[in-house]
A and B are shown apart, each in its own frame.
Chain A
Protein backbone atom coordinates (compact mmCIF):
# COMPACT_ATOMS: atom_id res chain seq x y z
CA UNK A 1 0.00 0.00 0.00
CA UNK A 2 1.38 3.43 -0.91
CA UNK A 3 1.73 5.91 1.96
CA UNK A 4 -0.11 9.24 2.27
CA UNK A 5 -2.34 8.98 -0.79
CA UNK A 6 -4.02 12.28 0.04
CA UNK A 7 -0.98 14.57 0.32
CA UNK A 8 -0.13 16.84 -2.62
CA UNK A 9 2.63 19.18 -1.40
CA UNK A 10 5.31 17.61 -3.61
CA UNK A 11 2.86 17.37 -6.48
CA UNK A 12 2.19 21.10 -6.23
CA UNK A 13 5.89 21.92 -5.93
CA UNK A 14 6.76 19.89 -9.03
CA UNK A 15 3.77 21.17 -11.00
CA UNK A 16 4.56 24.81 -10.24
CA UNK A 17 8.22 24.46 -11.28
CA UNK A 18 7.20 22.85 -14.57
CA UNK A 19 4.56 25.47 -15.28
CA UNK A 20 6.97 28.28 -14.43
CA UNK A 21 9.47 26.86 -16.92
CA UNK A 22 6.84 26.84 -19.66
CA UNK A 23 5.79 30.40 -18.82
CA UNK A 24 9.47 31.41 -18.96
CA UNK A 25 9.79 29.96 -22.46
CA UNK A 26 6.51 31.49 -23.58
CA UNK A 27 7.52 34.96 -22.41
CA UNK A 28 10.96 34.58 -24.02
CA UNK A 29 9.16 33.79 -27.28
CA UNK A 30 7.03 36.90 -26.78
CA UNK A 31 10.11 39.02 -26.04
CA UNK A 32 11.87 37.88 -29.22
CA UNK A 33 8.99 37.43 -31.69
CA UNK A 34 5.94 39.46 -30.72
CA UNK A 35 7.11 42.86 -32.02
CA UNK A 36 7.92 41.73 -35.59
CA UNK A 37 4.74 39.64 -35.70
CA UNK A 38 2.13 41.79 -33.97
CA UNK A 39 3.87 44.91 -32.67
CA UNK A 40 3.45 48.52 -33.79
CA UNK A 41 5.03 47.77 -37.18
CA UNK A 42 4.42 44.04 -37.08
CA UNK A 43 3.04 41.84 -39.82
CA UNK A 44 -0.32 42.23 -38.08
CA UNK A 45 0.05 45.67 -36.45
CA UNK A 46 -1.12 46.31 -32.90
CA UNK A 47 -3.27 49.22 -34.11
CA UNK A 48 -5.34 46.84 -36.21
CA UNK A 49 -6.08 44.77 -33.11
CA UNK A 50 -7.12 47.88 -31.18
CA UNK A 51 -9.38 49.10 -34.00
CA UNK A 52 -10.89 45.71 -34.71
CA UNK A 53 -12.08 44.64 -31.27
CA UNK A 54 -13.10 45.83 -27.81
CA UNK A 55 -11.27 45.38 -24.54
CA UNK A 56 -14.14 43.26 -23.25
CA UNK A 57 -13.92 40.89 -26.23
CA UNK A 58 -10.14 40.47 -26.20
CA UNK A 59 -8.70 41.98 -23.03
CA UNK A 60 -5.06 42.94 -23.23
CA UNK A 61 -2.66 45.50 -21.79
CA UNK A 62 -1.80 46.33 -25.38
CA UNK A 63 -5.32 47.52 -26.00
CA UNK A 64 -4.65 50.24 -23.41
CA UNK A 65 -0.95 50.70 -24.26
CA UNK A 66 -0.50 49.75 -27.93
CA UNK A 67 3.24 50.33 -28.16
CA UNK A 68 6.38 48.27 -28.69
CA UNK A 69 7.71 49.63 -25.41
CA UNK A 70 4.73 48.22 -23.51
CA UNK A 71 5.16 44.89 -25.34
CA UNK A 72 8.82 44.73 -24.41
CA UNK A 73 8.22 45.68 -20.77
CA UNK A 74 5.42 43.10 -20.44
CA UNK A 75 7.45 40.33 -22.06
CA UNK A 76 10.57 40.87 -19.97
CA UNK A 77 8.49 41.31 -16.80
CA UNK A 78 6.96 37.95 -17.62
CA UNK A 79 10.42 36.43 -18.07
CA UNK A 80 11.55 37.83 -14.72
CA UNK A 81 8.46 36.75 -12.79
CA UNK A 82 8.56 33.29 -14.40
CA UNK A 83 12.13 32.96 -13.15
CA UNK A 84 10.97 33.95 -9.65
CA UNK A 85 8.27 31.28 -9.87
CA UNK A 86 10.72 28.73 -11.27
CA UNK A 87 13.03 29.21 -8.29
CA UNK A 88 10.07 28.90 -5.90
CA UNK A 89 10.15 32.57 -4.82
CA UNK A 90 7.00 32.42 -2.65
CA UNK A 91 8.45 29.49 -0.69
CA UNK A 92 11.34 31.65 0.51
CA UNK A 93 9.26 34.28 2.27
CA UNK A 94 7.65 34.11 5.74
CA UNK A 95 4.77 31.65 6.00
CA UNK A 96 1.86 34.07 6.48
CA UNK A 97 2.71 35.82 3.20
CA UNK A 98 3.59 32.79 1.09
CA UNK A 99 0.08 32.00 -0.17
CA UNK A 100 -1.00 35.61 -1.00
CA UNK A 101 2.34 36.35 -2.70
CA UNK A 102 2.09 33.12 -4.68
CA UNK A 103 -1.44 33.98 -5.78
CA UNK A 104 -0.36 37.45 -6.85
CA UNK A 105 2.65 36.11 -8.74
CA UNK A 106 0.66 33.53 -10.72
CA UNK A 107 -2.14 36.03 -11.33
CA UNK A 108 0.26 38.58 -12.84
CA UNK A 109 1.80 35.90 -15.07
CA UNK A 110 -1.67 34.89 -16.23
CA UNK A 111 -2.69 38.51 -16.90
CA UNK A 112 0.47 39.28 -18.84
CA UNK A 113 0.20 36.17 -20.99
CA UNK A 114 -3.49 36.85 -21.58
CA UNK A 115 -2.40 40.20 -23.05
CA UNK A 116 -0.10 38.54 -25.55
CA UNK A 117 -2.59 35.87 -26.60
CA UNK A 118 -5.43 38.32 -27.18
CA UNK A 119 -3.33 40.85 -29.10
CA UNK A 120 -1.35 38.22 -30.99
CA UNK A 121 -4.32 37.08 -33.09
CA UNK A 122 -3.46 34.45 -35.73
CA UNK A 123 0.11 34.17 -34.42
CA UNK A 124 -1.30 33.18 -31.02
CA UNK A 125 -4.27 31.18 -32.28
CA UNK A 126 -3.09 27.80 -31.05
CA UNK A 127 -4.85 25.50 -28.60
CA UNK A 128 -1.89 25.42 -26.24
CA UNK A 129 -2.09 29.20 -25.70
CA UNK A 130 -5.55 28.98 -24.14
CA UNK A 131 -4.44 25.77 -22.43
CA UNK A 132 -1.52 27.59 -20.81
CA UNK A 133 -3.90 30.32 -19.67
CA UNK A 134 -6.36 27.83 -18.21
CA UNK A 135 -3.56 25.94 -16.46
CA UNK A 136 -2.02 29.19 -15.23
CA UNK A 137 -5.32 30.38 -13.80
CA UNK A 138 -5.74 27.18 -11.78
CA UNK A 139 -2.17 27.63 -10.50
CA UNK A 140 -3.25 30.88 -8.84
CA UNK A 141 -5.23 28.84 -6.31
CA UNK A 142 -2.63 26.20 -5.45
CA UNK A 143 -0.92 28.22 -2.72
CA UNK A 144 2.69 27.91 -1.51
CA UNK A 145 4.78 27.56 1.62
CA UNK A 146 4.28 24.74 4.11
CA UNK A 147 0.49 24.54 3.73
CA UNK A 148 -1.10 21.78 1.65
CA UNK A 149 -2.69 22.80 -1.66
CA UNK A 150 -6.49 22.62 -1.93
CA UNK A 151 -7.29 19.12 -3.20
CA UNK A 152 -10.14 20.50 -5.28
CA UNK A 153 -7.65 22.41 -7.46
CA UNK A 154 -5.72 19.17 -8.07
CA UNK A 155 -8.99 17.67 -9.31
CA UNK A 156 -9.64 20.70 -11.52
CA UNK A 157 -6.24 20.09 -13.10
CA UNK A 158 -7.28 16.48 -13.74
CA UNK A 159 -10.46 17.75 -15.39
CA UNK A 160 -8.42 20.07 -17.61
CA UNK A 161 -6.09 17.23 -18.60
CA UNK A 162 -9.09 15.01 -19.31
CA UNK A 163 -10.56 17.58 -21.73
CA UNK A 164 -7.13 18.00 -23.31
CA UNK A 165 -6.62 14.29 -23.98
CA UNK A 166 -10.17 13.01 -24.45
CA UNK A 167 -11.00 15.95 -26.74
CA UNK A 168 -7.95 15.13 -28.86
CA UNK A 169 -8.95 11.46 -29.01
CA UNK A 170 -12.53 12.17 -30.05
CA UNK A 171 -11.67 14.72 -32.74
CA UNK A 172 -9.25 12.25 -34.28
CA UNK A 173 -11.52 9.23 -34.40
CA UNK A 174 -14.33 11.42 -35.74
CA UNK A 175 -12.20 13.43 -38.11
CA UNK A 176 -10.31 11.33 -40.60
CA UNK A 177 -10.55 7.85 -42.07
CA UNK A 178 -6.82 7.38 -41.52
CA UNK A 179 -7.35 7.46 -37.73
CA UNK A 180 -9.95 4.71 -38.12
CA UNK A 181 -7.94 2.49 -40.48
CA UNK A 182 -4.82 3.14 -38.34
CA UNK A 183 -2.73 4.63 -41.18
CA UNK A 184 -2.47 8.29 -40.02
CA UNK A 185 0.98 7.82 -38.58
CA UNK A 186 2.21 6.55 -41.95
CA UNK A 187 2.10 10.24 -42.95
CA UNK A 188 2.15 12.28 -39.76
CA UNK A 189 5.91 12.38 -39.12
CA UNK A 190 6.55 13.64 -42.66
CA UNK A 191 3.67 16.12 -42.92
CA UNK A 192 3.57 17.48 -39.34
CA UNK A 193 4.05 21.24 -38.95
CA UNK A 194 7.75 21.24 -38.02
CA UNK A 195 9.65 17.94 -38.18
CA UNK A 196 12.57 17.38 -35.82
CA UNK A 197 15.83 15.39 -36.07
CA UNK A 198 14.10 12.07 -35.31
CA UNK A 199 11.06 12.56 -37.54
CA UNK A 200 12.74 10.94 -40.56
CA UNK A 201 13.58 7.85 -38.49
CA UNK A 202 10.05 7.67 -37.02
CA UNK A 203 8.59 7.98 -40.53
CA UNK A 204 10.73 5.08 -41.74
CA UNK A 205 9.62 2.69 -38.97
CA UNK A 206 7.71 -0.39 -40.25
CA UNK A 207 4.05 0.02 -41.23
CA UNK A 208 3.07 -2.52 -38.58
CA UNK A 209 4.60 -0.26 -35.93
CA UNK A 210 2.58 2.70 -37.24
CA UNK A 211 -0.64 0.66 -36.97
CA UNK A 212 0.19 -0.32 -33.42
CA UNK A 213 1.13 3.21 -32.31
CA UNK A 214 -2.06 4.63 -33.86
CA UNK A 215 -4.06 2.09 -31.86
CA UNK A 216 -2.02 3.05 -28.79
CA UNK A 217 -2.88 6.69 -29.48
CA UNK A 218 -6.59 5.85 -29.32
CA UNK A 219 -6.20 3.91 -26.07
CA UNK A 220 -4.18 6.68 -24.38
CA UNK A 221 -6.53 9.43 -25.53
CA UNK A 222 -9.91 7.72 -25.25
CA UNK A 223 -9.64 5.11 -22.47
CA UNK A 224 -6.77 6.11 -20.18
CA UNK A 225 -8.18 9.60 -19.34
CA UNK A 226 -10.95 8.03 -17.24
CA UNK A 227 -8.26 6.67 -14.93
CA UNK A 228 -7.19 10.26 -14.14
CA UNK A 229 -10.09 10.26 -11.66
CA UNK A 230 -9.36 6.79 -10.26
CA UNK A 231 -7.77 6.08 -6.88
CA UNK A 232 -4.03 5.52 -6.61
CA UNK A 233 -2.08 3.79 -8.00
CA UNK A 234 -4.38 3.70 -11.07
CA UNK A 235 -4.27 7.48 -11.53
CA UNK A 236 -0.48 7.43 -11.35
CA UNK A 237 -0.38 4.61 -13.91
CA UNK A 238 -2.52 6.78 -16.20
CA UNK A 239 -0.04 9.60 -15.56
CA UNK A 240 2.88 7.40 -16.61
CA UNK A 241 1.02 6.39 -19.80
CA UNK A 242 0.18 10.00 -20.63
CA UNK A 243 3.69 11.26 -19.94
CA UNK A 244 5.18 8.42 -21.99
CA UNK A 245 2.86 9.24 -24.90
CA UNK A 246 3.71 12.94 -24.76
CA UNK A 247 7.39 12.08 -24.44
CA UNK A 248 7.23 10.11 -27.70
CA UNK A 249 5.57 13.07 -29.44
CA UNK A 250 8.31 15.36 -28.10
CA UNK A 251 10.99 12.99 -29.36
CA UNK A 252 9.58 12.85 -32.87
CA UNK A 253 8.28 16.35 -33.60
CA UNK A 254 8.24 20.07 -32.77
CA UNK A 255 4.88 20.90 -31.18
CA UNK A 256 5.95 24.08 -29.37
CA UNK A 257 5.18 23.63 -25.66
CA UNK A 258 2.00 21.56 -26.10
CA UNK A 259 3.54 18.25 -25.03
CA UNK A 260 5.56 19.78 -22.19
CA UNK A 261 2.45 21.51 -20.87
CA UNK A 262 0.48 18.26 -20.99
CA UNK A 263 3.28 16.55 -19.06
CA UNK A 264 3.14 19.30 -16.43
CA UNK A 265 -0.64 18.83 -16.14
CA UNK A 266 -0.04 15.08 -15.72
CA UNK A 267 1.89 15.74 -12.51
CA UNK A 268 -1.54 16.27 -10.91
CA UNK A 269 -2.24 12.56 -11.45
CA UNK A 270 0.27 11.56 -8.83
CA UNK A 271 0.24 11.96 -5.06
CA UNK A 272 3.08 12.61 -2.66
CA UNK A 273 2.79 8.98 -1.58
CA UNK A 274 3.41 7.76 -5.12
CA UNK A 275 6.21 10.26 -5.77
CA UNK A 276 8.12 9.42 -2.59
CA UNK A 277 7.74 5.71 -3.37
CA UNK A 278 9.47 6.04 -6.74
CA UNK A 279 11.89 8.97 -6.38
CA UNK A 280 14.19 9.79 -3.44
CA UNK A 281 12.43 12.96 -2.30
CA UNK A 282 10.30 13.73 0.73
CA UNK A 283 7.91 16.56 1.51
CA UNK A 284 8.67 18.77 4.52
CA UNK A 285 6.30 18.93 7.48
CA UNK A 286 3.14 20.47 6.11
CA UNK A 287 0.19 22.36 7.55
CA UNK A 288 -3.46 22.30 6.54
CA UNK A 289 -4.72 24.45 3.68
CA UNK A 290 -5.75 27.93 4.91
CA UNK A 291 -9.52 28.04 5.30
CA UNK A 292 -9.88 31.11 3.10
CA UNK A 293 -7.91 29.38 0.29
CA UNK A 294 -10.11 26.30 0.60
CA UNK A 295 -13.18 28.53 0.35
CA UNK A 296 -11.75 30.33 -2.68
CA UNK A 297 -10.95 27.03 -4.38
CA UNK A 298 -14.53 25.82 -3.86
CA UNK A 299 -15.82 28.99 -5.49
CA UNK A 300 -13.35 28.37 -8.29
CA UNK A 301 -14.69 24.82 -8.71
CA UNK A 302 -18.25 26.15 -8.98
CA UNK A 303 -17.11 28.64 -11.62
CA UNK A 304 -15.26 25.97 -13.59
CA UNK A 305 -18.26 23.63 -13.38
CA UNK A 306 -20.55 26.34 -14.78
CA UNK A 307 -18.09 27.27 -17.54
CA UNK A 308 -17.53 23.59 -18.41
CA UNK A 309 -21.02 23.08 -19.79
CA UNK A 310 -20.33 24.45 -23.27
CA UNK A 311 -16.85 22.91 -23.71
CA UNK A 312 -18.18 19.52 -22.57
CA UNK A 313 -21.18 19.75 -24.87
CA UNK A 314 -18.84 20.61 -27.73
CA UNK A 315 -16.50 17.74 -26.90
CA UNK A 316 -19.30 15.20 -26.86
CA UNK A 317 -21.03 16.65 -29.90
CA UNK A 318 -20.99 14.98 -33.31
CA UNK A 319 -19.96 18.38 -34.74
CA UNK A 320 -17.07 18.89 -32.30
CA UNK A 321 -15.04 22.04 -33.02
CA UNK A 322 -11.31 21.94 -32.33
CA UNK A 323 -9.51 24.21 -29.83
CA UNK A 324 -12.29 26.63 -29.01
CA UNK A 325 -12.71 29.19 -26.24
CA UNK A 326 -16.10 30.11 -24.81
CA UNK A 327 -15.30 33.08 -22.58
CA UNK A 328 -13.06 36.10 -23.16
CA UNK A 329 -10.70 35.17 -20.32
CA UNK A 330 -10.28 31.62 -21.66
CA UNK A 331 -10.92 30.09 -18.24
CA UNK A 332 -12.42 26.78 -19.43
CA UNK A 333 -11.84 25.73 -23.03
CA UNK A 334 -12.21 22.79 -25.35
CA UNK A 335 -9.20 21.14 -26.90
CA UNK A 336 -8.36 18.73 -29.67
CA UNK A 337 -6.40 19.07 -32.88
CA UNK A 338 -5.01 16.98 -35.73
CA UNK A 339 -8.46 15.60 -36.47
CA UNK A 340 -7.17 15.12 -39.98
CA UNK A 341 -3.66 14.36 -41.13
CA UNK A 342 -2.47 15.62 -44.50
CA UNK A 343 -0.89 13.02 -46.74
CA UNK A 344 1.25 15.53 -48.67
CA UNK A 345 3.69 18.05 -47.30
CA UNK A 346 3.72 21.39 -49.08
CA UNK A 347 6.38 24.05 -48.51
CA UNK A 348 6.57 27.70 -49.45
CA UNK A 349 9.99 28.75 -50.69
CA UNK A 350 10.51 32.50 -50.66
CA UNK A 351 13.13 33.59 -53.16
CA UNK A 352 14.62 36.93 -54.10
CA UNK A 353 16.88 38.34 -56.77
CA UNK A 354 18.68 41.58 -57.45
CA UNK A 355 18.54 41.03 -61.22
CA UNK A 356 15.96 43.01 -63.24
CA UNK A 357 15.53 40.11 -65.71
CA UNK A 358 16.49 37.06 -63.71
CA UNK A 359 17.12 33.55 -64.93
CA UNK A 360 16.29 30.57 -62.71
CA UNK A 361 19.87 30.58 -61.41
CA UNK A 362 19.56 34.17 -60.18
CA UNK A 363 16.94 33.41 -57.51
CA UNK A 364 18.17 32.85 -53.97
CA UNK A 365 16.06 31.33 -51.21
CA UNK A 366 15.52 32.65 -47.71
CA UNK A 367 15.90 29.88 -45.15
CA UNK A 368 13.54 29.36 -42.25
CA UNK A 369 14.41 28.15 -38.78
CA UNK A 370 11.96 25.28 -38.63
CA UNK A 371 10.42 24.81 -42.08
CA UNK A 372 12.65 22.83 -44.42
CA UNK A 373 14.08 24.63 -47.44
CA UNK A 374 17.33 22.86 -48.32
CA UNK A 375 16.85 19.18 -49.03
CA UNK A 376 20.20 18.23 -47.47
CA UNK A 377 19.52 19.85 -44.10
CA UNK A 378 18.42 17.67 -41.20
CA UNK A 379 15.32 19.04 -39.45
CA UNK A 380 16.20 20.83 -36.20
CA UNK A 381 14.94 20.50 -32.66
CA UNK A 382 13.08 23.63 -31.49
CA UNK A 383 10.28 22.52 -29.17
CA UNK A 384 9.35 23.45 -26.53
CA UNK A 385 10.40 26.81 -28.04
CA UNK A 386 7.72 28.07 -30.41
CA UNK A 387 8.53 29.27 -33.94
CA UNK A 388 5.38 31.26 -34.62
CA UNK A 389 6.19 32.37 -38.19
CA UNK A 390 7.19 28.85 -39.18
CA UNK A 391 3.90 27.42 -37.90
CA UNK A 392 1.96 29.95 -39.96
CA UNK A 393 4.05 29.12 -43.03
CA UNK A 394 2.96 25.48 -42.64
CA UNK A 395 -0.71 26.50 -42.61
CA UNK A 396 -0.18 28.92 -45.50
CA UNK A 397 1.41 26.25 -47.69
CA UNK A 398 -1.74 24.14 -47.57
CA UNK A 399 -3.41 26.51 -50.03
CA UNK A 400 -2.25 27.21 -53.58
CA UNK A 401 -2.55 30.98 -52.94
CA UNK A 402 -2.74 33.15 -49.79
CA UNK A 403 -6.16 32.94 -48.13
CA UNK A 404 -7.98 35.20 -45.63
CA UNK A 405 -5.87 33.90 -42.73
CA UNK A 406 -2.68 34.83 -44.60
CA UNK A 407 -3.28 38.58 -44.60
CA UNK A 408 0.12 38.89 -42.95
CA UNK A 409 1.89 37.39 -45.97
CA UNK A 410 2.02 40.53 -48.10
CA UNK A 411 3.38 42.48 -45.14
CA UNK A 412 5.98 39.75 -44.76
CA UNK A 413 7.15 40.23 -48.36
CA UNK A 414 7.16 44.01 -47.94
CA UNK A 415 9.34 43.61 -44.83
CA UNK A 416 11.80 41.52 -46.86
CA UNK A 417 11.97 44.29 -49.48
CA UNK A 418 12.82 46.70 -46.66
CA UNK A 419 15.36 44.27 -45.13
CA UNK A 420 13.49 44.83 -41.90
CA UNK A 421 15.84 43.58 -39.20
CA UNK A 422 13.09 42.53 -36.80
CA UNK A 423 11.34 40.42 -39.44
CA UNK A 424 14.63 38.95 -40.66
CA UNK A 425 15.38 37.88 -37.08
CA UNK A 426 12.51 35.40 -37.46
CA UNK A 427 14.36 33.71 -40.34
CA UNK A 428 17.40 31.46 -40.36
CA UNK A 429 19.24 33.20 -43.18
CA UNK A 430 19.02 36.26 -45.38
CA UNK A 431 20.63 35.83 -48.81
CA UNK A 432 20.72 39.61 -49.26
CA UNK A 433 22.72 40.92 -46.27
CA UNK A 434 23.98 44.08 -48.02
CA UNK A 435 21.11 45.31 -50.15
CA UNK A 436 17.51 44.11 -50.30
CA UNK A 437 16.26 42.16 -53.34
CA UNK A 438 14.74 43.85 -56.39
CA UNK A 439 12.14 41.12 -56.82
CA UNK A 440 10.61 38.39 -54.72
CA UNK A 441 8.62 35.29 -55.61
CA UNK A 442 7.15 32.45 -53.59
CA UNK A 443 7.15 28.94 -54.98
CA UNK A 444 5.14 26.02 -53.68
CA UNK A 445 6.79 22.61 -53.48
CA UNK A 446 5.74 19.15 -52.39
CA UNK A 447 8.33 17.71 -50.01
CA UNK A 448 8.74 14.10 -48.96
CA UNK A 449 11.31 12.35 -46.81
CA UNK A 450 13.97 10.46 -48.74
CA UNK A 451 13.88 6.68 -48.69
CA UNK A 452 16.62 4.79 -46.84
CA UNK A 453 18.32 4.13 -50.18
CA UNK A 454 18.13 7.77 -51.31
CA UNK A 455 19.52 8.93 -47.99
CA UNK A 456 22.35 6.39 -48.07
CA UNK A 457 23.25 7.47 -51.59
CA UNK A 458 22.99 11.28 -51.28
CA UNK A 459 22.83 12.13 -47.58
CA UNK A 460 19.65 14.14 -48.29
CA UNK A 461 16.71 14.21 -45.90
CA UNK A 462 14.14 15.44 -48.42
CA UNK A 463 13.07 15.11 -52.03
CA UNK A 464 10.96 17.88 -53.51
CA UNK A 465 9.03 18.76 -56.65
CA UNK A 466 7.63 22.12 -57.65
CA UNK A 467 3.83 22.14 -57.75
CA UNK A 468 2.97 25.80 -58.27
CA UNK A 469 3.67 29.48 -57.73
CA UNK A 470 2.24 30.96 -54.55
CA UNK A 471 3.22 34.55 -55.40
CA UNK A 472 4.36 35.54 -58.90
CA UNK A 473 7.60 37.57 -59.13
CA UNK A 474 6.94 41.05 -57.77
CA UNK A 475 8.99 44.18 -57.18
CA UNK A 476 8.49 46.42 -54.15
CA UNK A 477 6.60 48.96 -56.30
CA UNK A 478 4.43 46.16 -57.78
CA UNK A 479 3.54 45.12 -54.28
CA UNK A 480 2.51 48.63 -53.27
CA UNK A 481 0.81 49.58 -56.54
CA UNK A 482 -1.14 46.38 -56.40
CA UNK A 483 -3.03 47.91 -53.49
CA UNK A 484 -1.43 45.65 -50.96
CA UNK A 485 1.30 47.66 -49.35
CA UNK A 486 2.86 47.05 -45.99
CA UNK A 487 1.05 47.24 -42.69
CA UNK A 488 -2.14 49.29 -42.62
CA UNK A 489 -3.05 48.96 -46.30
CA UNK A 490 -2.72 45.23 -46.34
CA UNK A 491 -6.20 44.77 -44.98
Chain B
Protein backbone atom coordinates (compact mmCIF):
# COMPACT_ATOMS: atom_id res chain seq x y z
CA UNK B 1 0.00 0.00 0.00
CA UNK B 2 1.41 3.36 -0.98
CA UNK B 3 2.16 6.01 1.63
CA UNK B 4 -0.63 8.31 0.42
CA UNK B 5 -3.19 5.52 0.76
CA UNK B 6 -2.02 4.86 4.31
CA UNK B 7 -2.40 8.54 5.15
CA UNK B 8 -5.87 8.75 3.60
CA UNK B 9 -7.11 5.57 5.32
CA UNK B 10 -5.63 6.67 8.68
CA UNK B 11 -7.23 10.10 8.25
CA UNK B 12 -10.59 8.60 7.40
CA UNK B 13 -10.51 6.28 10.41
CA UNK B 14 -9.47 9.13 12.72
CA UNK B 15 -12.34 11.21 11.38
CA UNK B 16 -14.79 8.39 12.12
CA UNK B 17 -13.34 7.78 15.57
CA UNK B 18 -13.72 11.46 16.41
CA UNK B 19 -17.28 11.69 15.12
CA UNK B 20 -18.53 8.49 16.77
CA UNK B 21 -16.67 9.22 20.00
CA UNK B 22 -18.28 12.64 20.07
CA UNK B 23 -21.71 11.00 20.10
CA UNK B 24 -21.17 9.30 23.44
CA UNK B 25 -18.43 11.30 25.14
CA UNK B 26 -18.76 13.83 27.96
CA UNK B 27 -18.23 17.52 27.09
CA UNK B 28 -14.54 17.52 28.04
CA UNK B 29 -13.75 14.47 25.94
CA UNK B 30 -15.80 15.88 23.06
CA UNK B 31 -13.29 18.68 22.59
CA UNK B 32 -10.46 16.16 22.45
CA UNK B 33 -12.37 13.92 20.06
CA UNK B 34 -13.20 16.93 17.94
CA UNK B 35 -9.51 17.56 17.49
CA UNK B 36 -9.05 13.91 16.45
CA UNK B 37 -11.73 14.38 13.79
CA UNK B 38 -10.11 17.61 12.59
CA UNK B 39 -6.77 15.80 12.48
CA UNK B 40 -8.44 13.14 10.33
CA UNK B 41 -9.71 15.75 7.90
CA UNK B 42 -6.22 17.25 7.68
CA UNK B 43 -4.72 13.82 7.00
CA UNK B 44 -7.25 13.25 4.23
CA UNK B 45 -6.32 16.59 2.71
CA UNK B 46 -2.60 15.87 3.02
CA UNK B 47 -3.01 12.39 1.50
CA UNK B 48 -4.90 13.65 -1.52
CA UNK B 49 -2.73 16.73 -1.97
CA UNK B 50 0.45 14.63 -1.90
CA UNK B 51 -0.61 13.07 -5.21
CA UNK B 52 -1.55 16.28 -6.95
CA UNK B 53 0.86 18.01 -9.29
CA UNK B 54 -0.70 21.23 -10.54
The answer to whether A226 and B54 have CB atoms under 8 Å apart is no
Q: Please name all residues of chain A whose beta carbon is closer than 8 Å to the beta carbon of B4 when the two chains form the complex.
A: 173
Q: Kindly specify which of A228-236, A286-294, A431-439, A441-449 makes contact with the partner chain.
A: A228-236
B2 in the interface (beta carbon within 8 A): yes
Bound Cα distance from A229 to B12, whole angstroms: 10
Which single member of B1, B20, B48 contacts A223 (CB below 8 Å)?
Answer: B48
In this complex, which of B1, B12, B20 has the most chain A Cβ atoms within 10 angstroms of its Cβ?
B12
Q: Is A69 an interface residue (CB 8 A)?
A: no
For residue A180, CB closer than 8 A to chain B, the reply is yes
Chain A: interface residue total (CB-CB under 8 A): 23
Q: Which chain B residues border A173 with CB–CB below 8 Å?
A: 4, 48, 51
Structural contact, B12 and A223, CB atoms closer than 8 A: yes
Report Cα–Cα, A227/B37, bound state, in Å. Answer: 11
Flag if B19 contacts A222 (CB, 8 Å): no
Q: Shortest Cβ distance from A269 into chain B, in angstroms? A: 14
Interface string of B21-54 (1 = CB under 8 A from A): 0010000000000000000110011011001111
The SS class assigned to the A binding surface is helix
Q: A226-B12, A226-B16, A230-B16 are in contact. Are A318 and B2 (CB under 8 A)?
A: yes
A99 touches B (CB below 8 Å): no
- Residues of A close to B41: CB separation below 8 A: 223
> Beta-carbon contacts of A317-328 to B below 8 Å, as 1s and 0s?
110000000000
User: Per-residue CB proximity of A348-379 to B under 8 Å, as 1/0?
Assistant: 00000000000000000000000000000000
The complex places the Cα of A56 from the Cα of B15 at a distance, in Å, of: 43
Q: A181-B53, A230-B15 are in contact. Are A170 and B5 (CB under 8 A)?
A: yes
Per-position 1/0 for A162-181, Cβ under 8 A of B = 00000000100110010011
Is A231 a contact of B20 with CB atoms below 8 Å? yes
Chain A residue at smallest Cβ distance from B5? A316
Q: Report whether over half of chain B's contact residues are helix, strand or loop; otherwise say mixed.
A: helix
Interface pair B51/A180, CB less than 8 Å apart: yes
Q: Select from chain B the residue with minimum beta-carbon distance to A225.
A: B12
Let me know if A182 is at the binding interface, CB within 8 A.
yes
* Chain B hits for A303, CB < 8 A: none
- Would you give the shortest CB distance from B34 to chain A, in whole angstroms? 13
Who on chain B is nearest to A315 by CB? B5
Which residues of chain B have C-beta atoms less than 8 A from A234's C-beta? 19
**Chain A residues with Cβ under 8 A from B20's Cβ?**
230-231
Judge whether B48 and A230 touch: CB under 8 Å.
no
Let me know if A251 is at the binding interface, CB within 8 A.
Answer: no
Cβ contact within 8 Å between B1 and A318: yes
Interface contact A180-B53, CB-CB below 8 Å? yes
CB under 8 Å from chain A, chain B span 1-15: 1-2, 4-5, 8-9, 11-13, 15
A218 to B41, CA, bound (A): 14
Q: Which residues of A contact B44 (CB under 8 A)?
A: 222-223, 226
**Does A219 have its Cβ within 8 Å of any Cβ on chain B?**
yes
A316, B44: Cα distance in complex, Å: 15
B47 contact set on A, CB distance < 8 A: 222
- Report yes or no: A181 in contact with B54, Cβ–Cβ below 8 A: yes
A234 to B4, CA, bound (A): 24
State in angstroms the CA–CA spacing of A177 and B53 once bound together.
Answer: 8
A121 at the interface (CB under 8 A from B): no
- Per CB-CB distance, the 9 closest pairs between chain A and chain B, nearest first, are A226-B12, A223-B44, A230-B19, A182-B54, A180-B53, A316-B1, A173-B51, A181-B54, A231-B23
* Residue contacts A-B, CB under 8 angstroms, 27 given: A174-B2, A177-B53, A180-B51, A182-B52, A211-B54, A218-B52, A222-B44, A222-B47, A223-B12, A223-B41, A223-B44, A223-B45, A223-B48, A225-B12, A226-B11, A226-B12, A226-B13, A226-B40, A226-B44, A229-B16, A230-B15, A230-B20, A231-B20, A234-B19, A316-B5, A316-B9, A317-B1
Q: A177-B53, A316-B1 given; name 4 further pairs at CB < 8 Å.
A: A170-B5, A215-B52, A223-B8, A226-B15
